[in-house]
Amino acid sequence: LAHHVGRWATESAEGPDRWILVSGLPATAQQGWFLLASHDSGRHWFIETSSLDNHLFPDLEGLATMRFWNRKEGIIAEVTGFAPDLVVYRTDNGGHTWQQARLSYPASPSTSDAPRIAFIPPTHLIITVDLNDGGVVHYTSITAGRTWTPSS
């Protein structure tokens, strides 16, 4: 896996849980993504899931970031370069399976900055995306990422 790493993002929930999201080399739009997990503070790692065996997982050419707020629940947010979309992947079982939501932009997203995710307990999430015109757009969820509302 180390020879195929292109981009990566890390996340830690409270306690011993850790995740690393890595992508393959960005030679094509179908680069592979892998989610590695550890539940012992990083002493042992395993591949939780990948785009090779799960099509509802990042496999577009874009910048991704992730946020887990407990051992089971988390999201990955990815800016796509092909269409003005933010793709949000949500898990409620520690990253084993994912649900996908596509959120449209009012303008062209910046493809040089990954989205930023803020979590406000117990269920409030805000994703901030930079736009090419210098503005930003925010997507808010009060349902732990199950539904989203855009705001400027």
**Does residue 62 surpass a pLDDT of 80?**
no
**Does residue 65 surpass a pLDDT of 60?**
yes
Ranges 16-20, 60-64, 77-81, 124-128: which has the least confidence: 60-64
pLDDT, residue 29, reads: 52
pLDDT in tens, 74-96: 998 888 766 677 889 899 998 88
> From CA 127, how far away is CA 115, in angstroms rounded?
6
Please write down the HEC assignment for all residues of 26-60.
Answer: CCCCCCCEEEEEECCCCCCCEEEEECCCCCCCCCC
pTM (2 decimals)?
0.82
Q: Are 90 and 99 in contact (CB under 8 A)?
A: yes
At residue 4, the 3 state secondary structure works out as helix
Query: What are the angstrom distances between the C-alpha of 21 and each of 60, 65, 120, 121?
Result: 14, 8, 22, 23
Q: Locate 31 and state its tokens.
A: 């680069």
pLDDT band at 149 (very low <50, low <70, confident <90, very high): very high
Q: Output DSSP code: residue 96.
A: S
List 8's β-bridge partners, or say none.
22
Query: What are the angstrom distances between the C-alpha of 1 and each of 35, 52, 125?
Result: 11, 13, 31
How far is CA 137 from its chain centroid?
17
List 46's β-bridge partners, or say none.
37
pLDDT, residue 5, reads: 45
